[in-house]
Amino acid sequence: MSTALDDLHLGVGVAAHEHDAHLARTLEAIDAVLAEAGVLPAAKVVAASDGSTAAEKIAASHGWTFRRISPGVPRTLAAAREAARRACGGDAQLLVDGDVALQPGWLAAAVALLREHERLAGVSGSIDEAHWRNGALVGGRHDVYGTHGSSGLSTLRDAALWRRSALDAAGGFDPWLPGEDEAEMCERLRMAGFSVAGVDRAVAVRHGIARESFADLGRFLRSGMSGPGMVLRRARGTMSYPRHLARYRGALLLFGWMVAGAVVAIAFRNNWMIWAWATAGLLVFFAIMRQSLPRAFWRGVRALVVGASVVRTLALPFRLPRLGVAPRPIAPAREGVAEEAPAERAVAGMPFRAAPRDPDDPPPLVSR
């Protein structure tokens, strides 16, 4: 075992939301990584937000604890992430989505980074994909988020090692967001003085449908389309609002371009082909940049939907999806009721600021 893993008080949480087909692979991969590193976690918890009974059976058959989200909490992947985080305990928390298989060899490097940098909230790396269709593996893709070689990241997605006290200080994941919850939480961490980083290697493989595809667009329309707009609603009036808005600038520009095209087609019927050829030229340009015409096309369509969601939130703020209480910092337990004495974990320096509390404490109930 690496010296970086000595005295590691680790909690492991898996967020399951419509991940029954790949959950067993996720749990087996995590167990293999922990065995390779020689780490015995404080708890291993699967939290489901979709009411799946299959997820509970899979967790039990692999020796994992199972949790359902509390009444009053929305049934979102973000809610499952927060429920898993609160239930798994530990000073460091390995949080993984239920369709993601961890890769070996990176945990010690991530722990070393957290020990070295006190204001570092989380560590991840590049994420690969394995594409499945009708139960068959049909392809894959490396580094879907384009983070390979980058140490300073703005958002950690799908799988990461987190400093528990940092997430507590920021309030954790927002269960009301149907999408973009990871980016929203990382921005709250940044506002609280923390940062996130990456190791220069692939840390996990996400199994499922391919990103930038028709199936992925359909899933986004069903579940996460309102996420960007709700992130802006949540951030309104805060210092993070301009940064969230800037993250969607490409989507907003594309939406404006399409609106301009519609205006040209209606007002100048004889000149609309100029706009059409310009649009085709932009598509070819981005296809060359992405080295894939279908990927550029579907990414553009998704950006257009995101732009429409943001504009709808900003320009037509009525009959919007319900948004509950915002995440609030979680205070450490009172002195004398800690999970264990800090002195017992102070060998070679305390690597993580502890925020001890009941590991079975669920996400708070919210008013309707």
Q: What is the pLDDT of residue 7?
A: 80
Average pLDDT over residues 25-44: 93
Lowest mean pLDDT among 7-11, 145-149, 179-183, 231-235: 145-149
d(CA 242, CA 188): 13
Q: Is the pLDDT of residue 352 over 50?
A: no
pLDDT classification of 72: cutoffs 50, 70, 90: confident
d(CA 180, CA 185): 9
Mean pLDDT rounded to a whole number for the chain:
83
The tokens for 90 are: 């530990």
* 3-class SS string, the chain: CCHHHCCCCEEEEEEECCCHHHHHHHHHHHHHHHHHHCCCCCEEEEEECCCCHHHHHHHHHCCCEEEECCCCCCCCHHHHHHHHHHHHCCCEEEEEECCEEECCCCHHHHHHHHHHCCCEEEEEEEEEEEEEECCEEEEEECCCCCCCCCCEECCCCCEEEEEHHHHHHHCCCCCCCCCCHHHHHHHHHHHCCCEEEEEEEEEEEEEECCCCCHHHHHHHHHHHCCHHHHHHHHHCCCCCHHHHHHHCHHHHHHHHHHHHHHHHHHHCCCCHHHHHHHHHHHHHHHHHHHCCHHHHHHHHHHHHHHHHHHHHHHHCCCCCCCCCCCCCCCCCCCCCCCCCCHHHHCCCCCCCCCCCCCCCCCCCCCCC
d(CA 233, CA 229): 6
Higher-confidence residue of 299 and 290: namely 299
Domains of the chain: 7-210+324-345 (3.90.550.10), 234-315 (no CATH)
Which residue shows structure tokens 């570092």? 120
Phi-psi bin for 8: left (phi > 0), alpha (psi -120 to 50), beta?
beta
Q: Is the pLDDT of residue 210 over 50?
A: yes
pLDDT classification of 3: cutoffs 50, 70, 90: low
Average pLDDT over residues 287-296: 78
The tokens for 155 are: 């958002």
Average pLDDT over residues 141-168: 86
Lowest mean pLDDT among 12-16, 28-32, 266-270: 266-270
d(CA 61, CA 238): 45
Average pLDDT over residues 330-336: 64
pLDDT classification of 337: cutoffs 50, 70, 90: very low
Q: Is the pLDDT of residue 64 over 50?
A: yes
Do the Cβ atoms of 171 and 328 come closer than 8 Å? yes
Q: What is the pLDDT of residue 338?
A: 43
Q: Is the pLDDT of residue 235 over 80?
A: yes
Residue 233's CB is within 10 A of a number of other CB atoms, namely: 18
Q: What is the pLDDT of residue 356?
A: 43
> How does pLDDT run across 76-131, given as a tens digit for each residue?
999 999 999 999 989 999 999 999 999 998 999 999 999 999 999 999 999 999 99
Q: What is the pLDDT of residue 260?
A: 85
Q: What is the pLDDT of residue 327?
A: 87
pLDDT classification of 350: cutoffs 50, 70, 90: very low
Q: What is the pLDDT of residue 24?
A: 95
Do the Cβ atoms of 233 and 313 come closer than 8 Å? yes
The tokens for 161 are: 């090692």
Handedness of CA 160, 48, 169, 181 (dihedral sign): positive
Bridge partners, 152 (sequence order): 197
Give the chain's radius of gyration (CA, Å). Answer: 22
Average pLDDT over residues 212-234: 82
Q: Is the pLDDT of residue 264 over 90?
A: no
Q: What is the pLDDT of residue 357?
A: 43
> How does pLDDT run across 125-151, given as a tens digit for each residue?
999 999 988 888 888 888 888 877 666
Average pLDDT over residues 276-291: 80
Q: Is the pLDDT of residue 339 over 50?
A: no
